Amino acid sequence: MSTQEQKPKNQTETDTESADEDIIAASSPQQRRLREKRGREIESPKETAEQEDTYHLKVFRYDPEVADKQEPRFDDFHVPYRQGMTVLDALIYARDRFDSSLTFRHSCRQAICGSDAFFINGRQRLGCRTQLSDLEEPVRVEPLPHQEVVKDLVVDMEHFYDQMEAVEPYFQTNELPEGELEEQRQSRENHEKIKMSTRCIWCAACYSSCNIAAGDNEYLGPAAINKAYRFAMDEREGEDLKQHRMRIIEQEHGVWRCQTQFSCTMVCPKDIPLTEHIQELKREAVKNNLKFW
Amino acid sequence: MYEHDVLVVGAGGAGLRAAIAAHEEGADVAMVTKLHPVRSHTGAAEGGINAALREGDSWESHAYDTMKGSDYLGDAPAIETLCKDAPEDVITLEHWGMPFSREEDGRVSQRPFGGLSFPRTTYAGAETGHHLLHTLYEQVVKRGVTVYDEWYVMNLAVTDEPDPRDRSCHGVVAYDVMTGEVAGFKARNGVILATGGPGQAYDHTTNAVSCTGDGQAMAYRAGVPLEDMEFVQFHPTTLPSTGVLISEGVRGEGGILYNAEGERFMFERGYANNAGELASRDVVSRAELTEVNEGRGIEDEYVHLDMRHLGEERIIDRLENILHLAEDFEGVDGLEEPMPVKPGQHYEMGGIETDENGETCISGLYAAGECACVSVHGANRLGGNALPELIVFGKRAGQHAAGTDLGEARLTTGKAGDVEEGEVDSPVALGEAGISDEAVADGGAATLTDPDEVVEAAVEAERRRVEYLMNKDDGIQHAEIRARVQKAMTKWVNVFRNEEGLKKALREIRAAREDYQHVYVADPSRTFNTDLQQTIETRNVIDIAETITLGALARNEFRGAHWRQEHQERDDENWLKHTMLSWNNGEPELWYKPVLLEGEEKTYEPKIRSY
């Protein structure tokens, strides 16, 4: 399905009439409600659209259960702009003022919960960390590509989570010090080495951007490999476990699938050098294999 | 119906720690959470975890600082438990691989924080909460704990005896956000609420959109008292336009606050002659707003937090995350210019009344983390004390719910013993606004006692509520109602409070309740209906906002974070007591219970609190 070709269906001031006709055609109580609601709210975008300070958003809409949303479409929203406004702010405004059925995940508003990765003007970005003023209008907001759309901007994350959990994403060691209050030492250098990899917020922007993952459903993907890197490079785990981890990431759908396109690194909102981490693991693997010959 | 030994509601720090502990004790444990665990708001905590780990420090000293910080409204057994358990529980995190910042010798780093007499705040950059959350979730994955994520818990399944202390909790009712299915979850041993704070009662808050006080509101309506709700922490350094948190770690590392005249006002205006910027949070927040109110704010709104003198290397090493936040959310380069900051709602000191083992007065119902009130923080929480609370009391609640004997609690719960009736002069009726439809009422399980039947009855009640909300054709939308409450709370129940404003807030909350009688859900879909979820959350926000405001109106003194224009002194003679609110047939009942200042070996005598 190409979402780009869907004919935008407008619900805003520019063609109120045609939108109304569409709604009249549908007769469920919900459609009636939506129509009334739009009637009430149309005034606010009308007023604000005349002022210069509005942003025009085109937002992807789809709901398998609702008659006029079963065919994916784009809705237009004109949101009054204030300085510093993010794409997430604009979506919240549109939902709270214009259409309460507009659905997207979001929580912390500060780029740490990783809920609101969307495909914004053709690129994976976090809604909360993307300033409207950095974008060209109309701002096109779509769900993350290569993942199944559940509704509007919500995608099914299960497969991404499965990949994350396939790399034994937890610390393991056989080298804990004696004594309950004794910490395991870690050099500052080693902490520094894994630091970037520990910043991952599981937003799936990288995974969505990766062509290899799109073509090979079993490919672990950049986020999961980065998670494996975080542990493989942690000196506290010890050499035996490192070998164990190398075996996991060297599997058929592991690091060797990466073709070094850097798309994951480009879109990562936490600036994690994902491709470099994957490359480093490949080098590690080569070294290891030579050693065992 | 789903069935497990222990159910944990919420999967932030406290919930994850509770689940791990219950699992380690051999219980069949499941988590039911409206967000996938890694989305939880624990991840936004920045500064660190207080624990007396080093020579020269002691749990006693940590306890003393915490008691002083609480303005003597914390309970000694709770505080001592926190401070004694924290070191071991922090080392456990280290053993689970948490990437703490390190010293040259490879041991975990600690830094100074506000109100602490020793630099005991253990940290991982300025994103300690993120690393804590992910480390705990890793352990949950490792153990194969069942997680029902994006399942929204709507209500508790509790029996309906007249005295809440005779009631028991047998599970929860939740709905699957993805499909709209409403289902019962039975808990054979216990339900642990770990649902976080109610920051969404305010519109300028560091809290996530998900922090709607669900667990507090559900426990309250089931009969558990909410304790000390008027004590709301306003963090002194949040970004003015969004409320995004700038860690206290900035001041801990040496960051300085300036007013518009370039004065280092914490010293120069005498707010805290010894500790300056590192005074306790309530003190710094009031100082900033006083500066602004007296015309020395910048753009009449905020003050400056300057960290440039720390140097790029140190900033990048210890506070890098702050640079990103200031850049992304305020457009300011912290290396080149001072950052604008103002106070913002940050933390609810009060919450669900529990004892040191996390138990409430309802058998089988536990609470831990920000949603609970043990009480460790009293009238003001010290920076760096929220995260140890999560791990210490999350763990204890998990162990206890799984059947581990932790010894008898010293704190008692429920309305019994040495209690005092309270009175409050409210300008409006309080509590539930006339119930027009049975379906919006709580599904009190009437005379049922069989656990399965209690859960099933609760499920039926929630199904009816969903149908009612979904079938209604018009009315008022939740966003409008919520915004009304948030505005009123931010205006009148903020850092500075007076009787008139608090009464205005109560009127607005009442109006919101009446509006809520007409609330409807416009989105007709069963698939991922956030309209429905937020509509249910909004009811919780209203209930919690009312408890905060009521407690504040009744408390005629100035203690910790609770400042009253008419009452400028702490009044130990009359107010050294906990505010308790019980939901009594739909109406809040106000009462008080004494503070326990007797520790294991010593009694904490209230002293004048100065920094």
Residue B595 lies in a domain: no
From B260's Cα to the closest Cα of chain A, the distance in A is: 22
From A293's Cα to the closest Cα of chain B, the distance in A is: 32
Residue B411 lies in a domain: no
Contact by Cβ (8 Å): A128, A109: yes
Residues 6 or more apart in contact with residue B52 via CB below 8 angstroms: B58, B59, B61, B62, B83, B86, B87, B118, B120
* Angstrom distance (rounded) from CA B359 to CA B396: 10
Q: Which residues of A touch B41 (CB under 8 A)?
A: 107-108, 113
The tokens describing B202, both together, are 């305010």
Segment B99-129, tens digit of pLDDT: 999 999 999 999 999 999 999 999 999 999 9
Residues 6 or more apart in contact with residue A36 via CB below 8 angstroms: B474
Specify which residues B347 forms β-bridges with. B233
* Angstrom distance (rounded) from CA A111 to CA A103: 19
* Angstrom distance (rounded) from CA B595 to CA B66: 14
From B276's Cα to the closest Cα of chain A, the distance in A is: 28
Residue B611 lies in a domain: no
The tokens describing B498, both together, are 């007076």
Q: What is the mean pLDDT of chain B?
A: 95
Asked if B314 reaches chain A (Cβ–Cβ under 8 Å), the answer is no
Residue B597 lies in a domain: no
The closest CB to that of B208, out of A107, A152, A161, belongs to: A107
Contact A84 B330 (CB under 8 A): yes
Whether residue B551 has pLDDT greater than 50: yes
Q: What is the CA radius of gyration of chain A?
A: 23
The tokens describing A179, both together, are 């004594």
Q: Searching chain B, which residue's CA lies closest to the CA of residue A133?
A: B331
Q: Are residues B22 and B117 in the same domain?
A: yes
Contact B209 A161 (CB under 8 A): no
* Angstrom distance (rounded) from CA B592 to CA B578: 5
Residue B325 lies in a domain: yes
Q: What ipTM does the predicted assembly reach?
A: 0.94
Contact A101 B522 (CB under 8 A): yes
Whether residue A39 has pLDDT greater than 80: no
Task: Please state, for a pLDDT cut of 90, what percent of chain B lies above it.
Answer: 94
**Phi, psi (5° rounding) for residue B437?**
-135, 135
Least confident span in A9-13, A273-277, B117-121 = A9-13
Question: A31 falls in which pLDDT band (50, 70, 90)?
Answer: very low
Contact A108 B101 (CB under 8 A): no
Specify which residues B469 forms β-bridges with. none
Q: Which residues of A touch B522 (CB under 8 A)?
A: 30, 33-34, 37, 99-101
Instruction: Tell me which amino acid residue B343 is.
Output: P
> How much is the average pLDDT of B149-160?
97
Contact by Cβ (8 Å): B354, B230: no
Asked if B39 reaches chain A (Cβ–Cβ under 8 Å), the answer is yes
Least confident span in A15-24, A199-208, A240-249 = A15-24
Segment A163-172, tens digit of pLDDT: 999 999 999 9
Contact by Cβ (8 Å): B82, B385: yes
Specify which residues B584 forms β-bridges with. B587
Segment B248-280, tens digit of pLDDT: 999 999 999 999 999 999 999 999 999 999 999
* Angstrom distance (rounded) from CA A140 to CA B301: 34
- The residue with greater pLDDT, B126 or B184, is B184
- What's the CATH number where B385 sits? 3.50.50.60
Contact A113 B141 (CB under 8 A): no
Peptide bond into B375 cis (omega under 30): yes
The tokens describing B360, both together, are 């409430």
> How much is the average pLDDT of B184-190?
98
* Angstrom distance (rounded) from CA A223 to CA A229: 10
Of B33, B45, B241, B227, the residue nearest B130 (C-alpha) = B45
Among all chains, which residue has been given the structure tokens 């206290």? Answer: B248
The closest CB to that of A165, out of B141, B331, B479, belongs to: B141
Give the pLDDT of residue B271: 96
Sheet containing B351-353: which strands, arranged edge to edge? Answer: B372-373, B351-353, B226-227, B577-584, B587-594, B420-421
Contact A234 B97 (CB under 8 A): yes
The H-or-E segment that residue B29 falls in is strand B29-33
Q: Are residues B214 and B252 in the same domain?
A: no
* Angstrom distance (rounded) from CA A38 to CA A269: 35
Segment B405-457, tens digit of pLDDT: 999 999 999 999 999 999 999 999 999 886 544 433 354 445 788 999 999 99
Q: Which residues of A touch B240 (CB under 8 A)?
A: none
From A250's Cα to the closest Cα of chain B, the distance in A is: 21
Whether residue A16 has pLDDT greater than 80: no
| Cα end-to-end distance, chain A, whole Å | 49
Report the number of distinct structural domains present in chain B: 3
- What's the CATH number where B547 sits? 1.20.58.100
> How many CB atoms neighbour CB B571 within 10 A?
13
Give the pLDDT of residue B30: 98
CA atoms within 13 A on the CB side of A216: 15
Q: Are residues B172 and B290 in the same domain?
A: no
Asked if B267 reaches chain A (Cβ–Cβ under 8 Å), the answer is no
Give the pLDDT of residue B543: 97
| Cα end-to-end distance, chain B, whole Å | 54
A·B CB contacts under 8 A = 169
Q: Which residues of B touch A148 (CB under 8 A)?
A: none
> How much is the average pLDDT of B302-311?
97
Q: Searching chain A, which residue's CA lies closest to the CA of residue B37?
A: A113
**Phi, psi (5° rounding) for residue B220?**
-60, -50
> How much is the average pLDDT of B573-585?
96
Pair type for strands B2-9 and B182-193: parallel
* Angstrom distance (rounded) from CA A118 to CA A140: 10
* Angstrom distance (rounded) from CA B513 to CA A256: 59
> Hey, is B565 helix, strand or coil?
coil
Contact B329 A110 (CB under 8 A): yes
Contact B97 A150 (CB under 8 A): no
Give the pLDDT of residue B237: 97
Catalytic residue, chosen from B120, B167, B221, B281, is B281
**Phi, psi (5° rounding) for residue A131?**
-75, 135
Output DSSP code: residue B292. I
* Angstrom distance (rounded) from CA B30 to CA B144: 10
Q: Which residues of B touch A268 (CB under 8 A)?
A: none
> How much is the average pLDDT of B166-178?
97
Contact by Cβ (8 Å): B33, B210: no
The tokens describing A105, both together, are 């995940």
- What's the CATH number where B307 sits? 3.90.700.10
**Phi, psi (5° rounding) for residue A70?**
-70, -35
CA atoms within 13 A on the CB side of B250: 29
- DSSP calls for B175-227: EETTT--EEEEEEEEEEEE-----GGGSSSBSS-TT---HHHHHHHHHTPPEE
Give the pLDDT of residue B197: 98
CATH topology of domain A158-292: Fumarate Reductase Iron-sulfur Protein; Chain B, domain 2 (1.10.1060)
Which range marks the domain in which residue B111 is found? 2-232+346-405
Interface test with B, best of A103, A113, A175, A270 (most B CBs within 10 A): A113
Residues 6 or more apart in contact with residue A257 via CB below 8 angstroms: A212, A216, A219
> How much is the average pLDDT of A137-153?
97
Known catalytic residue at B281: yes
The H-or-E segment that residue B185 falls in is strand B182-193
Asked if B331 reaches chain A (Cβ–Cβ under 8 Å), the answer is yes
Interface test with B, best of A87, A96, A103, A110 (most B CBs within 10 A): A110
Q: Which residues of B touch A176 (CB under 8 A)?
A: 95
Segment B325-366, tens digit of pLDDT: 999 899 899 999 999 999 999 999 999 999 999 999 999 999
Q: Are residues B20 and B58 in the same domain?
A: yes
Secondary structure of B338-358 in HEC code, one letter for each residue: CEEEEEEEEEECCEEECCCCC
Residue B415 lies in a domain: no
Q: Are residues B332 and B464 in the same domain?
A: no
Question: A293 falls in which pLDDT band (50, 70, 90)?
Answer: low
> How much is the average pLDDT of A63-82?
95
Pair type for strands B2-9 and B29-33: parallel
Among all chains, which residue has been given the structure tokens 């009855």? Answer: B457
Q: Which residues of A touch B523 (CB under 8 A)?
A: 100-101, 103
Residues 6 or more apart in contact with residue A276 via CB below 8 angstroms: A265
Asked if B31 reaches chain A (Cβ–Cβ under 8 Å), the answer is no
Pair type for strands A54-61 and A139-142: parallel
Q: Which residues of B touch A115 (CB under 8 A)?
A: 35, 39
The H-or-E segment that residue B149 falls in is strand B146-149
Give the pLDDT of residue A24: 35
Residues 6 or more apart in contact with residue A196 via CB below 8 angstroms: A270, A271, A272, A273
Q: Are residues B372 and B268 in the same domain?
A: no
The tokens describing B212, both together, are 């709607």
Q: Are residues B265 and B291 in the same domain?
A: yes
Strand segments (E) across B199-323: 226-227, 232-238, 256-258, 303-306
Give the torsion sign (CA, A181, A185, A188, A191). negative
> How much is the average pLDDT of B460-471?
96
Q: Are residues B89 and B173 in the same domain?
A: yes
Interface test with A, best of B527, B529, B537 (most A CBs within 10 A): B527
Give the pLDDT of residue A292: 59
> How much is the average pLDDT of A141-145?
98
Of B332, B331, B341, the residue nearest B255 (C-alpha) = B341
Give the pLDDT of residue A165: 96
Residue extent(s) of CATH 1.10.1060.10 domains in chain A: 158-292
Q: Are residues B290 and B367 in the same domain?
A: no
Residue extent(s) of CATH 3.10.20.30 domains in chain A: 3-155
Q: Which residues of A touch B10 (CB under 8 A)?
A: none
Whether residue B304 has pLDDT greater than 90: yes
A260: left (phi over 0), alpha (psi -120 to 50) or beta: left
The closest CB to that of B108, out of A33, A165, A183, belongs to: A183
Contact B97 A109 (CB under 8 A): no
Q: Are residues B338 and B363 in the same domain?
A: no
Q: Are residues B337 and B351 in the same domain?
A: no
Q: Are residues B510 and B560 in the same domain?
A: yes
The tokens describing B441, both together, are 């009422």
| CATH class given for the domain over A3-155 | alpha beta
Sheet containing A139-142: which strands, arranged edge to edge? Answer: A73-80, A54-61, A139-142, A117-120, A123-126
* Angstrom distance (rounded) from CA B522 to CA B42: 32
Give the pLDDT of residue B368: 98
Among all chains, which residue has been given the structure tokens 């502990």? Answer: B21
Q: Searching chain A, which residue's CA lies closest to the CA of residue B244?
A: A110
Of B198, B267, B254, B258, the residue nearest B230 (C-alpha) = B198
Q: Which residues of A touch B141 (CB under 8 A)?
A: 165, 169-170
Contact B525 A101 (CB under 8 A): yes
Interface test with A, best of B16, B54, B102, B320 (most A CBs within 10 A): B102
Residue B321 lies in a domain: yes
Among all chains, which residue has been given the structure tokens 């689970």? Answer: B96
Of chain B residues 502-531, which have a CB less than 8 A from chain A? 521-531
Residue B424 lies in a domain: no
